[in-house]
A and B are shown apart, each in its own frame.
Chain A
Amino acid sequence: MRKISRLGSEARLGWTLVAPALAVIALIAIFPLGWTFWESLHLHELRMPWLGKPFIGVANYVEIAKDPRFWAALGHTAFFTVVSISLELLIGLFLALAMNRVFRGRGFVRAAVLVPWAIPTVVAALLWRFIFESQGGIVNALMIKAGFLDQPMVWFIEASTAWVPVILADVWKTTPFVALLLLAGLQNIDLSLYEAAAVDGANAWWQLRHITLPLLKPAILVTLIFRTLDGFRVFDLIYVLTGGGPGTSTEPVALYTFNALLQNLRFGYGSALSVVIFVITFALAMLYVRGLGVRLGGDES
C-alpha cells in the first residue's frame, strides 16, 4: 500500500483528476436539472400564459400520485425493464463468454454482434414493426408455414401480444451493449484462477458459478444500473412501435412525460414527472449497489 504519500496531497491529486469530468457536468447539466426541479414546483401551462407561473409547492406531485395513467405507465415501464434486462443479461452473458473464447470466426461474431446496436433506434423500431406486421410480416408468414397459426395475427392490437415485438426489439438492440460491458469485466478476471480450478477437477459449470459470476459482480452492477436507467427512459422504441397503444397499454413513463411536456405543454407537471422518474431510478441504482455488495468508494476483494 502507499505508505509514503500524505493524505493531503493524494486528496488534492484525486480532486484535480476528477475536476475536468465534474466541470463538464456542472457546466452543462446543473442548470437543466435545477431548472427542472424548480419548474416542478410551479404551475406552468404554456398554452395559458394568463395563468402566470405561480409557485404551487408539491401540488404537481400530489396530482401525479392521484393520476391512474401515471401509475399504469410506471407499471408498464417496470415490466418492460425487468423482462428486457433479464433476457439481455442471460443472452449477453452467453455472448460475452463466447466472445472470450478462441474459435474460428470470432472476429466476425464480434463485429456482427454490434450491428444491431449501431442502427439508430428509430430505424430499428421501424424494422421490427415491419417484421411483425400482420399482412406481409415475416413472423406471421413463418408461423403460418410452421403451422403455429391459421391466419395472420395482428400483434399490435392486444396488449399482451404487443409487448412481444417491443421486448424483442429492445433485446435485439441492446444485448450487444450488455455483452460488451460484461466482456470488459471478463477481461479483468485472472486466468490463473481458472487454471487452478481446472487442475482441481472443477467443471465449466462450477467455474462459472464460483469464479466468473462473483468476479463479474462489478460489471453486472454497471450493466444493471445503466440498463435500468435506459429502461426507465425508454421512449423512441415504443413511440415508433406501438405509440403507447393499444389504448395506453404499452405506454411508458417517458412517453407520458413527453405528452405532458411537448404535446400538452404542461411544463410544471411534466417537470414533476421527470423528477419522479429521477428519484425512482436513483433509488433503484442505490438498491443495486447495496444488493450486490459493491462499495462505491472503495475496493472490493
Chain B
Amino acid sequence: MNLRASLAPLAFLLACTRAPSSNETVLTFSGSALGAEGTLVARQLKRFMQLNPGIRVELQRTPDDASQRHQLYVQWLNARVGNPSILQLDVVWTPEFAAAGWVLPLDKYGPEKSKFFPATITANTWAGQLYALPWFADVGLLYRRTDLVPNEPSSLEEIVADARREMARGGGPRYGIVFQGARYEGLITGFVEYLGAFGARIIDDSGNVVVNRPEAVRALEFMRDELYDSKVAPLEVLTWHEEEARFAFQNGNAVFMRNWPYPVAAMSDTAQSPVAGKFAVSPIPKSATAPNGHSTAALGGAQLAINAYTDHPAAAYKLIAYLTAPEQMLERAQAVGQYPTRFGLYTDPRLASAISIPMESARRAIESATPRPVTPIYTELSEILQIELHRALVRQAEPRDALDAAAAKINALIERTGMRKLMRARVAPPPQPPDTNGHGE
C-alpha cells in the first residue's frame, strides 16, 4: 500500500473524529480521488492550505457519477449535514439546490461575474442571485474524421451528405454519425443542439413552453430522419451513452460523432486509438434550412457551491474563489484537459497547448452554448422530455404528437409547482453571438 493511500484515509479519519481546534477551520471538499484529477485536486488544495494557514481542507470522496452523487447530496442535505462544505454541482442542479435552500447565495462575497462566460453565470443564477461558481465547462462538440471529411461542415445537412457519401464508399465506416440517444439526460443535451440549429428552444424568455413550435418539431424530425430516412445514424445509438459512442468513433466505425471534450485525450493516444491524428473537433453547425438557426452547444460542466449548513461559509468561499481563479483553471486545463470558464484565458498561449482543440473553436463553442432550462424542476421536466423524445425516436409516436404531449405535461408540471411566476421573473439571456474582443471569426 503506497504512502499516499494510507495517509489519505488516516487524514480523513482524523478530520472526522477530532473536533477542530479553536484556531483552525476545517473544510471538506467533495471530489474524486481518481487518477490525474485526484492528483490535481490534492495539489491545489495543498497550495490553498499553504496560502491560508488557519484553514485545513479534507477531501471527501464522492462518486463522479452524477446520479449517485446527486442521491448522496440529497440525503445529506435533507439531514442538514454540513459536510461536505463545498459541493460539486452538475450544471442543472444549481437552481434545484438553491430553491431547496441547500446552497448559499454568493453575491455578497463579490464574485467576478463578468469574467466568466455569460451562459455559465446564467445557469447558476436563480431568483436573481448567483449560487455557484462555474468551475469547468463541458460543451457538446462535433468530431469528424479528417481523412474522410477534411473541411469543417457548415450545416447539419452537409454532415448528413458527407456521412452518406463516406458510408457508401467501399470500405467506408459503417456509421455516419453517432451520438448519445439512450433515454437519459444525454439525450436532452444532444436535442438542445438540434433545437438551436433550427432556431427553436424548450422554454422562451418569458417562461413559456415552446418545445412544440414548428421549428422544434422540425429539429426532432431531422433527428429521426437521421435514423430511419438517410440512415446515417444506427439504431443502436438509441441505447448508447457517451462511452459507446466514443468507442464506435475511436475504433474507426463512424464518420462523425457528437460528444463532450473528454474523449479527445484517449482518442489521441496512438497505442489504443486507431483514429489518433485523424480527427478534428468543431462546434456543431446550424441547419441550412432554418432562418433563425444558429450553431450552439449544450452546456455541461461542474460548479462549486457552498453547503448552506456549513459552519464556515466565508472560508468556504475563499476556497471556491481560489479554485476558480485563472491560475488554477489553467492548471486544470493542462492536467486534465477541461475547459476553463473564464473567457480571458482563451487568449493565453499557455492554454493552447493544454486543450487539444484550437482555442478559438473552444471559445466559440462555449460562447454559443445554451444552458438547459434553469429551473428547480429541471429534472422532472427533463424526464418528461426524455420520454417523449425517445418515443418519437423509436417510432412509438410522431414527432409533432410527442412534442405536443411533452409541452402539455411540462405546462401541467409548471402549474402544479407554481413555477410560472418565478420563471417569468428571471429572464435568461439568449446565447450571445461571438464576442467582440478582436478574435471573432
- In the assembled complex, the Cα of A259 lies from the Cα of B391 at a distance in Å of 19
Tell me if B236 and A48 are in contact (CB < 8 A): no
User: How would residues 378 to 398 of chain B score, 1 for a CB under 8 Å from any chain A CB and 0 otherwise?
Assistant: 011001000100110010100
A95 to B183, CA, bound (A): 38
Known: A46-B74, A47-B377, A265-B96. A245 touches B236 (CB 8 A): no
Q: With a CB–CB cut-off of 8 A, which chain A residues contact B100?
A: 46-49, 265
Q: How far is the CA of A51 from the CA of B99 in the complex (A)?
A: 11
Q: Write the A44-73 contact mask toward B (1 if CB under 8 angstroms, else 0).
A: 011111010000000000000000000000
For residue B376, CB closer than 8 A to chain A, the reply is yes
Residue from the list A45, A49, A51, A263 in contact with B383, Cβ < 8 A: A263
A149 within 8 A of partner (CB): no
Provide the residues of chain A in CB contact with B379, threshold 8 Å: 263-265
Knowing A156-B239, A157-B394, say if A246 contacts B376 (CB, 8 Å): no
Q: Is the CB–CB distance between B235 and A243 below 8 Å?
A: no
Residues of B within 8 A of A158 (CB): 394
Cβ of B78 within 8 Å of any chain A Cβ, yes or no, is: yes
The residue in chain A whose Cβ has the minimal distance to the Cβ of B390 is A247
Looking at the assembled complex, report how far the CB atom of A166 sits from the nearest CB atom of chain B, in whole angstroms: 13
For the complex, what is the distance from the CA of A154 to the CA of B418, rounded to whole Å? Answer: 41
Residues on A with C-beta less than 8 A from B253 are 135
Across-interface contacts of A263 in B (CB, < 8 A): 67, 70, 379-380, 383
Complex contacts, B391 vs chain A, CB 8 Å: 246-247
A-B CB pair tally, cutoff 8 Å: 78
Total residues of chain B contacting the partner, CB 8 A: 31
**Chain A residues whose CB sits within 8 angstroms of the CB of B96 once the complex forms:** 47, 265
A231 at the interface (CB under 8 A from B): no
B376 to chain A, nearest CB (A): 4
B417 engages A246 (CB within 8 Å): no
CB distance from A125 to the nearest CB of B (A): 13
Please, how many angstroms separate the alpha-carbon atoms of A51 and B422 in the complex?
14
Q: Assess whether A259 is in contact with B383, with CB atoms less than 8 Å apart.
A: yes
Which chain A residues numbered 182 to 212 have a C-beta less than 8 Å away from chain B? none
* Chain A residues with CB under 8 A of B67: 263
Interface check A121, CB cutoff 8 A: no
**Measured between alpha carbons, how far is A245 from B241 in the docked complex, in Å?**
13
Q: How far is the CB of B378 from chain A (nearest CB, A)?
A: 9
Contact present for B78 and A46 (CB under 8 Å): yes
Q: Which residues of A168-186 have CB atoms within 8 Å of chain B's CB atoms?
A: none
| Chain B residues within 8 Å of A51, by CB | 418
Return the CB mask of A126-160 against B: 1 if under 8 Å, else 0.
00000001110000000000000000001011100
Some 12 contacts from A to B, beta carbons below 8 A apart, are A47-B377, A48-B99, A133-B236, A154-B236, A154-B238, A156-B239, A245-B182, A247-B396, A265-B74, A265-B96, A265-B100, A265-B379
B residues bordering A, Cβ < 8 Å? Answer: 67, 70-71, 74, 78, 96, 99-101, 182-184, 234-236, 238-239, 248, 253, 376-377, 379-380, 383, 387, 390-391, 394, 396, 417-418
